[in-house]
Chain A
């Protein structure tokens, strides 16, 4: 059975939109509406409870369109606990709970009937607030105040109770207190409960049904266990996380987001050398001018492969922040100076330069360990490239086909 059915709710407030929200809230169940801030959760509740009007669409409570209810009649069918830190009048708990009977009374009726008194007592007992009945609202703790507000809504004796973030301003023990109380009300009295929650774990643990919203759209709905997945978290909350359920509680372990995606350019100058002459090239390379002082220089390695077939290979790998930095070096006077008056020695058989533009993605190796150091700091502190590589996944974004000879 459906307690509340919305069809294509539209609302355009310029900065914010509801875009065709169609949801069915199951009767006698606990439903949580979740989603990031500004996704339209509270707005949806306000429209359903007639505190705000939609531009288009329909809402049915039971099988009646909400606009066919008279105000008092509607307040006997459905009520809401607004998200509120609002000023509340200086009244006793019982006086506040008694307000909940207003929709059941005619304007001129002031005397509480036996039915009214019974409803007030029930509401206070169900919320455990009867012991404070004569205390002033303001003398209660935040958690107790919230229970009194819930008791007032309960005294309305509606079949449907909406709550807008009922636990947001409470500490953990009061949060659980309130959630358990709502669960009891749902189990024992079949109350249909719909609440906007920020805490996914509480939503999953206490609710039968989950509705997720983003940018004014319903993006997922169903049983919490089926809805809360890594894919859901990435899509709705834009976070990467692992999810596993422990009883009814989802354990959500966020994976640290890449702080920034940086790129670097790897220039590999590979020369094939006549056997036994590799060290000459390495010596020769030592004379290449002042690369370590160049802007954007990230590091240099010389790799030597001996005894490959009938030649050896020497790769001079320099890493740069940008290709332009490398090019600036080849145009620098120091570079030109070191290459002047030099012929290509005959022991070099061939020479090839490749450019690789790579994206650096930093990921912690496992949750809880220190995040990887940045490439820059690792280089500057002179660590071996191997250790940096282990902390980084280097994706090759583009391999340049350019083959050049250094003159």
Chain B
């Protein structure tokens, strides 16, 4: 792989992704139990158009596509940042306990207060952030090294997983509503959810821009980064906080969507290298496109059944990931 082809490839991907993203959005708006022709989409947005189309587009598809974009973007950004912070290409938001914490909080909410569906995102968000903070501070011993964070994450995940299973067994009658959420999906997500997540998602994505530089420096390893005058512990803590904000936001609305945070940054890394100036924006775009596309597929392919997008992503993601690993082996 010569550098010429790397920089060429970077350029091509940078140019291609906006189009991919646009097509994905159009596909998501267009496709469904009622297909809406692209020109009708324009008419609806510009001048009102057909009332039925308008209702479907504005009330159903637009918020769902927007949520898909944000969820994918947040998960991929979180995964990309964590892979750098942990210096481990196989890290994903699950490592720092985000998913497990969100899951427990969501189930507790349903058990304690079954009518509180409205507050589910807020509770999951709080749980996700709380457990990632717990992981970080459990790992702290004059600094939180990546290895300790991973170990603390394993411990916290195991504990929270046990709590989740326990609650589901004991209160099996009350947790029906939570099962699709645990599988990770966007069914029935609407403006209410978008309004909840959008500020955090946008804030997190905007904060990712200044995170690019420290993420790049941490890639060199703690010692080299320190010798370059960086406050490594502080930066790592802030990056982990940012990653848990991003992942927690996604989890709050979409539930436990796995693999996006792992596969998208990993695939992008193979295409454009480790430089976060390329890796992060491309992961954000790639994650957004992937989740939106997969969600459109999940709600239409198996019509009239809607499959949770998390299941579809895992089904597609697992083999794809194995292919990536095999390819990587050849490269090394």
Contact = CB atoms under 8 A, between A and B. Distances in A.
B227 A80 contact: yes
B91 to A, nearest CB: 14
Contact of B228 (A88, A99, A135): A99
A139 B7 CA distance: 15
A90 B227 contact: no
B213 A100 contact: no
B283 to A, nearest CB: 15
Given A91-B273, A110-B213, A102 B229 contact: yes
B1 interface: yes
A86 B6 CA distance: 23
Contact of B210 (A73, A108, A139): A108
Given A99-B220, A134-B3, A90 B226 contact: no
Contact of B229 (A75, A80, A92, A134): A75
Interface in A122-174: 134-136, 139, 153, 156
Nearest to A95: B275
Contact of B273 (A51, A90, A103): A90
Contact of A73 (B6, B87, B216, B229): B229
A160 B87 CA distance: 29
B219 interface: yes
Given A86-B221, A89-B220, A136-B6, A50 B274 contact: no
A371 to B, nearest CB: 45
B35 interface: no
A82 B227 contact: yes
B202 to A, nearest CB: 20
Interface residues of B, number: 26
B1 A136 contact: yes
Interface in A80-129: 80, 82, 84, 86-92, 95, 99-100, 102-103, 107-108, 110
A162 to B, nearest CB: 9
B228 to A, nearest CB: 4
B219 A71 contact: no
Contacts of A70: 229
Interface in B85-115: 87
A91 B274 contact: yes
A136 B2 CA distance: 7
B213 A51 contact: no
B164 interface: no
Contacts of B43: none
B141 to A, nearest CB: 14
B224 to A, nearest CB: 7
Given A51-B223, A134-B4, A136-B6, A156 B228 contact: yes
A71 B229 contact: yes
B52 to A, nearest CB: 49
Interface string B195-222: 0000000000000001001001101110
A136 B3 contact: yes
Given A86-B221, A91-B275, A134-B3, A74 B229 contact: yes
Contacts of B145: none
A240 B300 CA distance: 82
A129 to B, nearest CB: 14
B270 to A, nearest CB: 9
Contacts, number: 75
Interface residues of A, number: 35
A49 B222 CA distance: 13
Interface in B1-46: 1-4, 6-7
B228 A107 contact: no
B231 interface: yes
Nearest to B332: A138
Nearest to B274: A89
Given A95-B275, A107-B210, A89 B228 contact: no
A75 B223 CA distance: 12
Contacts of B229: 70-76, 102-103
Given A75-B227, A107-B213, A89 B219 contact: yes
B217 A135 contact: no
B231 A135 contact: no
Contacts of A315: none
Contacts of A107: 210, 213
Contacts of A84: 221, 223-224
Given A88-B220, A108-B210, A136-B1, A51 B87 contact: no
A49 B273 contact: no
Interface string A356-400: 000000000000000000000000000000000000000000000
Nearest to B214: A107
Contacts of A51: 223, 226-227
Contacts of A43: none
A79 interface: yes
Given A134-B3, A136-B6, A71 B231 contact: yes
A74 B273 CA distance: 30
Contacts of B274: 89-91
Contacts of B216: 89, 99
B314 to A, nearest CB: 28
Contacts of B217: 99, 102
Given A51-B226, A82-B224, A135 B87 contact: no
Interface centre among B1, B210, B217, B227 (most CB of A within 10 A): B227
Interface string B160-191: 00000000000000000000000000000000
Interface in A54-75: 70-75
A367 B226 CA distance: 49
A255 to B, nearest CB: 40
A90 B213 CA distance: 16
Nearest 4 pairs between A and B by C-beta? A75-B229, A103-B229, A72-B229, A89-B274
12 contacts: A51-B223, A82-B223, A88-B220, A90-B269, A95-B275, A99-B217, A99-B220, A102-B217, A102-B230, A108-B210, A135-B3, A136-B2
